[in-house]
Structure 1
Amino acid sequence: MNEGEDVDFRDRVRQSFERQQAMRTLGAELTRVEQAMVEIEMPFDVKLTQQHGILHAGVIAAGLDTACGYAAYTVIAPEASILTIEFKVNLMSPGRGERFLFRGEITKPGSTIIVADGRAYALGDGPAKLIASMSGSMMVIRGRQEFIG
């Protein structure tokens, strides 16, 4: 891959992420975009907690799904897009931290189906703590104007 193509996928991911109203609502930001890997970070917000004051599982799933979806977006043609068709999340530890990191990585690229794995970490004073993992499948969409970008 040449350097121009490298910049292109990063720009496409950033532009698409800017249109993500769900991530904006959560206060999430795109912090790293590499070939087959994306990281999203989000500050703790009490409005995103469940009844015990920890980050809601649905918010964790949304962060992981988005990170994995954009990781898939880095490995497809510019005219294609991605839709998640399946995922499973394992919650491993309570979502307690000052910030949260959602990392999506491609496990198996494909021309129609892409498999991705995600990890969610709580960040604070000490070392990052793994709080959840995800395995998901993304479908490559072509020729559908409503799904471009």
Structure 2
Amino acid sequence: MVDYDQETVETRIRQSFARQGAMETLGAELSSVSPGVVEIELSYDPKLTQQHGFLHAGVISAALDTACSYAAYTVTTPEVSLLTIEFKVNLMSPGRGERFLFRGEITKPGSNIIVADGRGYALTDGPAKLIASMTSTMMVIRGREGISG
């Protein structure tokens, strides 16, 4: 883990998230940033569903990948960037809900490879329902032209 200054790290992550065209297209919001944990929320939108009206697996995967990646940014130094090199998604329940929460949490920080686990939840009036999980591996990038945090 790096020395963690909440305000500096959160500002860096929020600025980077704001440049994410994919998350903007989905209407996703960065709702929480803390050491090793990031949460992203998304409202239900019929444009993001598959043929049965459930949140599409690709949308779920993209949001979990993003949450895991930004959780990894909380444990890196400002001059590095990250690229996802692998992930595994388990879809456990249909994506039915009014809102969705995607939480990425660091499992193993590292100087070259970082592993994170993600969980996706459907939010309604009742308790949150686990709809998906992800294990994600990110590669730390240093000094590569055109790739920055």
Is this a same-fold pair by TM over 0.5? yes
Deviations for 1:43-102, whole angstroms, at most 9, x for unmatched residues?
A: 000000001110000000000000000000111010001110000000000000000000
Aligned to 2:116: 116
Give the Å deviation of 1:36: 0.6
Identity %: 72
Alignment RMSD (CA, Å): 1.1
In structure 2, do the counterparts of structure 1 residues 2 and 114 end up closer, same or farther at CA, with 3 Å as the change threshold?
A: closer
Residue 21 of structure 2 is aligned to residue 7 of structure 1: no
Quote the residue 1:106 is aligned against.
106
| Pairing 1:38–2:42 present | no
Q: In structure 2, what is the Cα distance between the partners aligned to 1:142 and 1:71?
A: 18
What is the deviation of 1:6?
2.4
Q: Secondary structure at the match of 1:114?
A: strand
Cα deviations across residues 17-56 of structure 1 (Å, max 9, x unaligned)? 0000000000000000001100000000000000111000
| Structure in which a larger fraction of residues adopt helix | 1
TM-score (normalizing by structure 2): 0.96
Mapping of residues 1-149 of structure 1, within 5 Å: 5-149=5-149
Structure 2, gaps ≥5 residues long: none
Distance in 2, matches of 1:134 and 1:66, equals 11
Detail structure 1 runs of 4+ shifted over 4 Å in the superposition. Answer: none
2-side partners of 1:25 and 1:98: how far apart?
18
Please give the alpha-carbon distance, in whole angstroms, between the structure 2 residues aligned to 1:147 and 1:68: 18
SS in 2 for 1:147: coil
Distance 1:77 1:146 in 2: 18
Structure 1 gaps of 5+ residues are none
CA distance in 2, matches of 1:52, 1:7: 42
Q: Output the TM-score relative to the length of structure 1.
A: 0.96
Question: Secondary structure of the equivalent of 1:116?
Answer: strand
